[in-house]
Structure 1
Amino acid sequence: MKRVLTALFTIVLFSSCGQHTKKENNVTTSEKAKKNTDMKKVLFVLTSHEDLGDTGEKTGFWIEEFAAPYYLLKDKGFEITLASPKGGQPPIDPNSKAPAAQTPATERFDQDKETQQLLAQTLKLATLSQEDFDAVFYPGGHGPLWDLAEDKNSIALIEDFYKHDKPVAAVCHAPGVFKHTKNADGSSLVEGKKVTGFTNEEEAAVQLTNVVPFLVEDMLKKNGGVYSKKEAWAPYAVEDGLLITGQNPASSEKVAELLAERLQ
């Protein structure tokens, strides 16, 4: 795993997080945020896939890409529901637990037993509908490239959110979920849309170009997306209508910020 861990020291340089809470006229900031959002509901969809191709190593979702958006939205008063294809505990990429990958958001998660318990009990994706939510968010990690990109329930859910004018957000490898999503006319959901996602350069840096089932950058371009990026590991997020995408782990909070602004 040395090849992957080496890249983690670069990623951590760009991660950040923070929060502050106070009381005003006996109404907490969190309560005021809830009023401002009218308790908007966001569905988080995580991968259930844990095998890193044929390498014998493990993957899953990246903790930072879950924790930073989760706490940003939660602290603003949004109600969050967690789901995955299989339900239950989604696999955590072991490399996202490495010291070099830690951020204030992941450290908060490590101390947050309540959220850990919720994560261990994710709902089965097939049981959920867009009718009960205002937006959907996909954290990354390599896992989604194997299961969520091909999952019929996920594909249908994204298309339904989009059809009903509800935001769809994804970060890092998670924009891979747009591989098969379509508009009503049969065109790719990302065709003509400004998008970003994990770059070919970043995939090469972690030496998994020949392991992953497809490269996110190449797929988005092939599907007609107007793909853009910044230098490797730099925070970068793009919003185009209902689609909000982020380039890498350092972009997870930016994606959540754009989603929160959109919903508010």
Structure 2
Amino acid sequence: MTKRILHIVTNVAKYETKPERPTGLWLSELTHAWDEFEAQGYEQHIASPKGGFCPIEPQSLKFPFFDESAKAWYTNIQRMQLLGDTAAVADLDAEAYDAIYLTGGHGVMFDFPESEGLQHLIRDIADRGGVVASVCHGYCGLVNVRDTHGELLVNGRKLTGFSWMEEKVAGVSKIVPYNIEERIKERGAEYSKKPIPFVSNVVVDERLVTGQNPSSAKAVAEAVVETMG
């Protein structure tokens, strides 16, 4: 049977902590994974916490991140329409998916953690033996997820995600709503990172696959493919 992948994107277009600063999905984090899954012949869907429009982070449309993969998506009307009307996570059935992939961009810091619909999807997909994956800030969606026994999903699990050093290098450490690296560690996660910012880094802990930054998206997708078998 064809594998089915659910991509999760943000609905948040501006920093709630600084409304004049736009944010959204980091485009290449979606497109690099999409390209890899498409090459495998997987069926793919896109959803967001509220459903509907997904904004794109303007910084992701600049060199060097606006590469061939991102440009091909951005200039394709049909592909952009997929981000114009995403499904709402609360309307979806976890049994329909073999893997869930949480994309990044700073927008997810605001709407991923408290989305009960997203938490339920992640828990149910994990319980079914599906793959739970995230890249960059996507791991914000993992911080409050609990398993069927009420235990935090990330407690004692090896993972990675956008580091506090990378927030500083990106010049946004003073406007992000919290330190996600610190918060995930508080949840009991065994967080690790590359010492050099923005170098590709993927951590696989059984069926949990995480990537540190935008450079890691393709490698995360490859690891998801390998993990699903």
Q: Note whether the superposition's TM-score is higher than 0.5.
A: yes
- Matched residue type, 1:47: T
CA distance in 1, matches of 2:150, 2:89: 24
- Is 1:259 the counterpart of 2:224? The answer is yes
Offset at residue 118 of structure 1 (A) = 2.1
Retained in 2: the 8 A contact 1:51–1:59? yes
- Is 1:131 the counterpart of 2:95? The answer is yes
Offset at residue 164 of structure 1 (A) = 1.2
CA distance in 1, matches of 2:51, 2:224: 24
- Matched residue type, 2:212: Q
- Is 1:82 the counterpart of 2:30? The answer is no
SS in 2 for 1:68: helix
Retained in 1: the 8 A contact 2:25–2:57? yes
CA distance in 2, matches of 1:202, 1:53: 20
Alignment of 1:125-204 (within 5 A): 125-204=89-168
Alignment of 1:1-264 (within 5 A): 38-55=1-18, 56-230=20-194, 231-264=196-229
Identity over aligned pairs, percent: 33
The residue that corresponds to 1:9 in the other structure is: none
Retained in 1: the 8 A contact 2:199–2:216? yes
- Matched residue type, 1:87: G
Show CA shifts across 1:200-223 (max 9, x none).
100111222232222221112111
**Equivalent residues, number:** 227
Show CA shifts across 1:102-131 (max 9, x none).
122112213333222222221121110101
- Matched residue type, 1:65: E
- Matched residue type, 2:216: S
Pairwise CA RMSD? 1.3
Retained in 2: the 8 A contact 1:194–1:226? yes
Structure 1: 5+ residue runs without aligned partners? 1-37
- Matched residue type, 1:248: N
SS in 1 for 2:111: coil
Retained in 2: the 8 A contact 1:161–1:167? yes
CA distance in 2, matches of 1:258, 1:185: 27
CA distance in 2, matches of 1:228, 1:176: 15
- Matched residue type, 1:138: L
Retained in 2: the 8 A contact 1:64–1:106? yes
Offset at residue 151 of structure 1 (A) = 0.6
Offset at residue 95 of structure 1 (A) = 1.1
CA distance in 1, matches of 2:150, 2:23: 32
Retained in 2: the 8 A contact 1:53–1:211? no
Offset at residue 156 of structure 1 (A) = 1.2
Give the TM-score normalised by structure 1: 0.83
Retained in 2: the 8 A contact 1:195–1:220? no
CA distance in 2, matches of 1:87, 1:59: 17
